[in-house]
Structures are given as structure tokens and as C-alpha cells.
Structure 1
Amino acid sequence: MTRGAGGNDAGGHGGVVVVGAGQAGVQVAESLREAGYDDPVILVGEEPRPPYQRPPLSKEYLAGKLPDAELALRGDRFYEDRGIRLLVGRRAVELDRSGRVLTLDDGTVLPYGHLVLATGARPRPLPVPGGRLEGVVGLRTLDDAQELCRRLESARDVVVIGAGFIGLEFAAACRAAGLNPVVLDIAEQVMGRAVSAPTAAHFAEQHGLRGTRLLMGTAPTELVGRDGRVTGVRTADGTTIPADLVVTGVGVLPNTELAALAGLDTDNGIVVDEYLATEDPHISAIGDCAAFPDPRGGGRIRLESVQNAADQARCLAARLTGAARPYDALPWFWSYQGDLRLQIAGLATGHDHTVVRKDERTQGLSVYCFRGSSLVAVESVNRPADHMAARRLLASGVTVTPEDVAGPEFSARAHMARATDSERRAPA
């Protein structure tokens, strides 16, 4: 389907209204102005504060290395200087597609020429009794992070439910605060299906060596408490793990309610085409909430990353200002877990073979993930040069085989350079 290829339909009738003031929403507003768009741009954010960065909340912020003032996505005068109307503490509650009007929870009515849904995602609720006890906290917003900073000052027994990126990042923050957390997950490997088995095994080993107790293949069945406060986590085998602080990190759900109420197609996200357009030519969706065609692996995917949010925003802004192109950016991700730096280029989903290259000097490693003979992703731990070379390699389409990577002298950067040189030397 190619609904979104039709160029600019964003002029007039209220300009562009963006629902969601996270990374994707702010970037699309900025990119529209950079592309010369001069009709109104309105940015609607549900939280009662200017837009801020979320990734540092579970990393530098909890470690006390990043003050509140440095979390801002843009400077104080950014929105005013660019003529972007920023509405914070407002929630979109109704969407009239026929009249092209958005209504907010305070009764404000916003007409639009084009509507951008950048509504993000919210934490998946923990489906066990006791989730509302005092001392049970998620980690998605700045309010959550501030509460966790306060609780870490007095906590003794911390249990983290969910061994994904957020859970393991928080575990590292606990260790920095002098605590030895317990992390449990129903899955058998850390970071679920987001990484390969060798990378998961390495992180499990390293977290264990640093003082985190990992209980994989362990399901929580109840959070128990006394006088309204959490005191422990009961597991399926009847064990109760003491806890005066429980942090839940069992994934997120895309915020699709507004789209669904308006009759737009949703399927683990707001369904869009390769141009990030919904079936309504006046509405697009980007970022964590958008389910889009995978240009490399086929099917439909939804990604939760700063790279995806920012690149989709730029791609959409280009279409709305007359320079339509399909979205095909190479995905990349990162997770900083204490002194463990994971960087991923590509998507390892569906890989069937890995080649591991270790660096004994730095205790770093890179895992090359193949589907058949095709390289689909590279996961690097404390190997930033490998990560940057892998991004260039995957984006270029240069062929690299498992046998190439397994060679004793293999270097992604050198392999890329040789391939580029050979291409230049090839006769026309």
C-alpha cells in the first residue's frame, strides 16, 4: 500500500497538529520548520512539563549523573523561537476525522490540516495481585524516576520484575547505590528475544558477577504486603522474596486508543504504510506507537528507540513538505547497564546463526547475527568502534559471510573498506 506518497496535504485548516511531545513529536515539529513549513505547528503533550528525554531516566539520571535541567529535549526558547505552539498537561480525547478536528480534555478544539499521532507507549501492567501496594513502582516518566531516586535512599530489599533493558538498567543503578537487587523474569534468558543467546548469556554472567541475583524462568504470582506496603514477591514455586521496593518492567503497550476510537486500523500499534501514513490521508503515526512495514525482514514491526522515533519524524516531515520517500532507516539501539555498554545495529529477529568475536583485553565482544548467509544484526558490548562499523556495513548492503567474520583477522571496518575499494576499481 502506498497511501502516503501523495506529498503535502498539511497546509491550511489548522496546519499540523502533533499528539505526543516525546522524541518523535518534538523532532517532527522541528524538522517541519527546518524544511521551510510556515503554517501553524501545534505540539500537544500529556505530561505537565516541557518535553524531556526518557532514555537517561533508567541510566544517568538514577545514577545521579544528570540533573533535571539537562533532561530537556530542547532549550527554553526553542519552541517560541520556531513558532511551535506547545500545549503541555493536555490529553487528546476525541478525533473527528470527517471535520479534521481534535478535542482535548480541557475542551480545547484544534482543527488540523494534517494530524501526527506520536502517542508513544505506556508500561504493561503486571497481571498479579498486589500491584497497587505502596512501594511498587514502574519506570517510564520523570515522576517515576524521581520517586525511585527517593526510595533508593532508604530501600533495603529490591526486587525487579522483568529482565529487559529497563529492568537490568535499574539493577545496575541499584548496585551503584550499594544494593544487591533480585531480578526475576518468566523468560529463560535476559533481555528476552531482543538479543541473541550469546549476548544474553554474557550479560547474565556479568550482572551476576557484579552482585545481581538473577532468577530466570521464574513467574511472580503475587505481591504481598503489610499495612498497604509491599513486603515481598511470591513466585510460582511458593517462595516469597523479601522486598520493600518492587520495580516492574514487563514491557510496554502502544498508545493506540485515540486512533482506535477514530476507526483507524491498529495491530500492536497504529498501522501505517511505508510512508508512515494511516488509511486516512490526513493522519500519520510515528515513533513507539507506529506499526510499519519492515523494509528488510518483511512483515510489520513496531520499534521503541530514539533512532526510530527521530528518523521517522524526519521522514514524515519531508513528505509533508513535498519530498516523500519510504521509511527505510537502519534500526539501532543501545542499553547502558552500569559499565556494560550494549549497542545493537539491525534486527536480530529470526536469526539462525551467530559468530562471536571477543576482545580479551577489554572483556568486550561483538555478536554477528545471520539469517542464512545474510548478516542481519550486530550486537556489540563495550566495542563502540565495532558498532559504528556494523552500522555502515549493514546500511551499505556489502556482503559479509559467517566465514568472513570467523576469520582470525576479520575487522568490520577493514571489510567495508576493501569492498568499497573493489567497487571503485571495478570496470564500468
Structure 2
Amino acid sequence: MAPEQIVVVGGGLAAARVAAEYREADGEKDVTIVSSEPDPPYNRPPLTKGLLRGEQERESTYVRPREEWEDAVVELRLETTVESIHPDTHEIELAGGERLPYGQLVVATGARPRTLSIPGADLVGVHTYRTLVDAEAVSLAAEEAHSAIVIGGSFIGAEAAASLRLRGLDVTLVELGSSLMPQLACPELSAELADLYREQGVEVLLEAELEELTGNGKLLTGARLADGRTIEAYLAVVGVGVQPNVELAEAAGAKVDDGIVVDERFRSSLDDVYAIGDVARYPDSTTGRLRRIEHWSNASAQGSHLGRQLAGAQARYDELPVFFTQLFDTKLQVLGDVQPAAECVLRGSLAEGRLIGFHLTERGELVGAVVHGEAADVVAELGDLIREKPTVGDTARLLDENLRPAEAVAG
């Protein structure tokens, strides 16, 4: 292989996008994707939705069929583990000792699920949730289990709980914190979501500490909470967050800090080594701070941008972070950066079928929004406003459903 080839480590969406976009931009170097997974790059959102509900097949999650990668002249090396990066010689070393040279190396190693450190965490029937293999294992287990416990009320946990309930299982969702979907940073909306889940038959336990998972021999049969309550369950899905897979880059000398630290062109501190997707901590020009984002749209946008950049494009990365989720029939979209917000002003409600949560800083700056049931032009208008970070003088106007977002903010 040519020594100036582009090597992409990782088999997720970011890896797929960088390779595909590089070819679309007429990049001529050899491109190789090295992935430890058995499948070609795939989309993760269906794993907790259509695939878990039994509405989609495995292959439908693929970014593109295997044969199309051959047509794009991109080599896929699946079920292949990278042991180390050698920045001094511009090579990666694979399990077994083979070395691949690179001209540019893209690290898109993603993240892995955090695990539980409580008794019973190793029982048969306890599953983390990240890969296609994980999703199919949970889906298979759900065919036999009539009851399930979902541990964690954030995106993965909430989505999995909804899908398992739609499959007819009795589901208990256990969240250590005081709200469901805390990343939304909108307590009033979180309370509405908890009510929605209870209406759908999910038992939602907030501020509940899991003490142990219990079993009959090696098989899961339930759980015990710190307050003594017990839960029957023959399937457990653990969704307590992820940690970025930085070890390869860190061992090679790259700067890491809750992810591989990169600049505005996704360059790491190592020459000719880039990082994108869930593993990358990048300077978000739309918020003015370093961020690491674990969502589909971010992986897609960063991968596409870097692919064009490696083919010679010079445009600045300036994507407003956006992500979405579907909980039962409720679709939510989040724009901007809701974490610095000190207040969420909620207009509308889930019951009404439309809502906007305006996220404001202590100074009254609009930095993010959560949206449900609004037209595309309203969502686009919100995105433009968030980029400008206007200061809201009269928050009462935000509640007026007769005002467009720009009109409400301007007042």
C-alpha cells in the first residue's frame, strides 16, 4: 500500500463519513478503515429504536452495503484490532504484529459503555448497550424475558426502556438522579417525560440507588435498591454513560482531556494524526468552549468535514451542535449547548404536541433549545438565533405562542 495512504481507525459513522466524503471530494489517496467490529460502519440510533423493537434488520443500519465500499475504493479491515500507533514512523501496529503505514491517520475510536461495580453485574442477562452485537443480544434476550430493568435515565436508557416497553415487557427504569433525561437541562420537561413513561406503563424510579443485581445461580432474576425495595427482572440494560476510547492516542503521546484534544481542523498534538466523533474534544466555534459530543449528527458532520479537508478544502468547521431522540412517539430535538444554561423557559408541553425549551445563561443569553412538534422553519430560526447568543430581556415573551422565536427574543 502507498505510504501516503489515509488510515482510519474505528468503524462507526465518523469513520464512514470521512472516507466517503474524501472520495466524493475526489481525494485520490488509498483509504483503509480498520475496525475491531465484524460489521461495516453502521448507524447507532436504530440500535435502541427500530432494531430493538424488531422493526429493522441488522443490514438496514449499515451506512452503506459492504460492496459499495469496494466500489468507492475504500478497503475495510474488519475484526482487526489496532494495538499501537507509532507517530515517529507514521505506522499503526495491528494485533499479530503487522504494521500499516499512513500519511494521515484519523482516530475515530468512539467510546465504550461504563459498567456497574456492584454485586451481580456479571450475571447472565445483564447487558451494556453500544454495538450491533449488544443490540442483537438484548433483542434476543427480550424474546424470553417478560420483565426488564433499565439502569440509567439518560439517552440510551430512556430509549431502550421505551423500546422494550413497546415490545410488551414490564419495564422498570432506575435513575440515581432526580430527573429523567437530565441532559435536556429542563426540569419541567423531564417531569413531563417521567409522566409520559408512567402513562405508557414504565415504572420510573428516580433518586433510586441500585445496591445489587440478584440472581439464581448465574442468571439474573432481579435487583435490590439501597432502600430495600426489590425488582423482578430477567433482563437488565445498563445505560450509565460512556467513556472515550483515548488509550491508543494517549499511549502514542497525544494530548487527552476527556477525549483526544484537537484544534479547529481536528488535528491532535501528534503530527498527521486527527480525531473526530465521540472521542474528540474540539473547540466548538458556536459556543466558544471545548466540547466532546456523543451524538450521531456530530459524528456525521465532523467526519464529512474532515473528509473534505483531507481532499484539500479549507472551509472552517462551524456546525451548530444538534441532536435528537425518540421516546415512544415523542421526538425531541436539541440545538446548541444546553449545559451552561441556568434556566430553561418552557413554552408549550408534550400534552399540547409542541414545545420549545429556551435555555438561557445567568446573563440571559440564549445558548440552546429543546424542540418538539415545531415546523422546520421554526427550528432553523432557533438555530440562527442560538448562533447569535442574543440576550433575552423579557422572558415572559418567550411563553407567548403567538410570537416567532425571533420576535420573542427581540422583546
Q: TM-score range by the shorter chain?
A: over 0.9
- The answer for the alignment partner of 2:370 in structure 1 is 379
Tell me which residue corresponds to 1:390: 382
* Higher mean C-alpha deviation, range 379-388 or range 289-298: 379-388
Kindly tell me: are residues 280 and 190 of structure 1, through their superposed partners in 2, closer, same or farther at Cα, counting changes over 3 Å?
same
The residue type equivalent to 1:412 in the other structure is P
Question: Hey, what does 2:31 align to over in structure 1?
Answer: 41
Would the aligned equivalents of 1:379 and 1:387 in 2 still touch at CA under 8 Å? Answer: no
Sort the Cα spacing of 1:309 and 1:246 in 2 relative to 1 into closer, same or farther, 3 A: same
- Distance, in Å, in 2 between the alignment partners of 1:72 and 1:384 is 29
Is 1:145 matched with 2:135? yes
AA of the residue aligned to 1:411: R
Structure 1 residues 320 and 45: CA distance shift in structure 2, 3 A: same
What amino acid is aligned across from residue 318 of structure 1 in structure 2?
R
Q: Name the structure 1 match of 2:152.
A: 162
Q: Once the 2 structures are TM-superposed, how far is the Cα of residue 136 of structure 1 from its aligned partner?
A: 0.5
1:395, CA displacement in angstroms? 4.2
Determine helix, strand or coil for the equivalent of 1:168: helix
| Residue among 235, 255, 263 paired with 1:265 | 255
Aligned counterpart in structure 2 of residue 100 of structure 1, from 57, 65, 90: 90
Counterpart of 1:246?
A: 236
Task: Indicate yes or no: 2:402 matched with 1:412.
Answer: no
Q: Which one-letter code corresponds to 1:390 in the other structure?
A: L
Tell me the equivalent position of 1:127: 117
Q: Unpaired segments of 5 or more residues in structure 1?
A: 1-10, 420-428
CA RMSD of aligned residues (A): 2.3
Do the aligned residues in 2 keep the contact of 1:199 with 1:379 (CA within 8 Å)?
A: no
2: CA distance between counterparts of 1:138 and 1:318? 34
Shift of 1:363: 3.0
Name the CA distance, whole Å, in 2 between partners of 1:278 and 1:224.
44
1:261 maps to a residue whose letter is A
Alpha-carbon separation, structure 2, partners of 1:17 and 1:200: 42
Are 2:176 and 1:186 equivalent residues in the alignment?
yes
Tell me whether 109-118 or 371-380 shows the greater mean CA deviation: 371-380
Kept in 2, the 8 Å contact 1:14–1:110? The answer is no
Larger deviation: 366-375 or 387-396? 387-396
Helix, strand or coil for the counterpart of 2:182? Answer: coil
Call closer, same or farther: CA 1:220–1:408 in 2, change over 3 Å.
closer
Corresponding residue SS for 1:153? helix
Aligned to 1:7: none
Equivalent residue number for residue 295 of structure 2: 305
After TM superposition, the score normalised by the length of structure 1 is: 0.89
Alignment of 1:213-292 (within 5 A): 213-292=203-282
Q: Flag the 1:403–1:288 CA change in 2: closer, same or farther, 3 A.
A: same
SS at match of 2:105: strand
Residue 195 (1) aligns with residue 185 (2): yes
Contact 2:400 2:408 in 1 (8 A): no
Match of residue 79 from structure 1: 69
- Distance in 1 of aligned mates of 2:401 and 2:132: 46
After TM superposition, the structure 1 stretch with the greater mean CA deviation from structure 2, 244-253 or 177-186, is 177-186
The alpha-carbon deviation at position 369 of structure 1 amounts to 0.9
2:13 corresponds to: 23
- Give deviations 1:295-333, integer Å, cap 9, x for gaps: 243332110111111111122223323333443310011
The total of aligned residue pairs comes to 408
Separation in structure 2 between the aligned mates of residue 335 and residue 360 of structure 1, nearest angstrom? 14
**Aligned equivalents of 1:27, 1:413: Cα separation in 2:** 34
Assess, with a 3 A threshold, how the Cα gap between structure 1 residues 47 and 408 changes in structure 2: closer, same or farther. Answer: closer
- Report the secondary structure of 1:77's partner residue: helix
Q: 1:116 aligns with which of 83, 106, 109?
A: 106
2:8 aligned with 1:32: no
What is the aligned partner in structure 1 of residue 202 from structure 2? Answer: 212
Identity %: 35
In the alignment, the residues of structure 2 paired with residue 296 and residue 214 of structure 1 have an alpha-carbon distance, to the nearest angstrom, of 35
Question: Does the 8 A contact of 1:198 with 1:367 survive in 2?
Answer: no
Q: Secondary structure at the match of 2:170?
A: coil
CA distance in 1, matches of 2:344, 2:257: 31
Is the 8 Å Cα contact of residues 286 and 319 (structure 2) preserved in structure 1?
no
Cα distance per residue 1:21-62 (max 9 Å; x no partner): 111001000111122210111111111122211110101111
Alignment of 1:327-338 (within 5 A): 327-338=317-328
- Residue identity in the other structure for 1:160: V
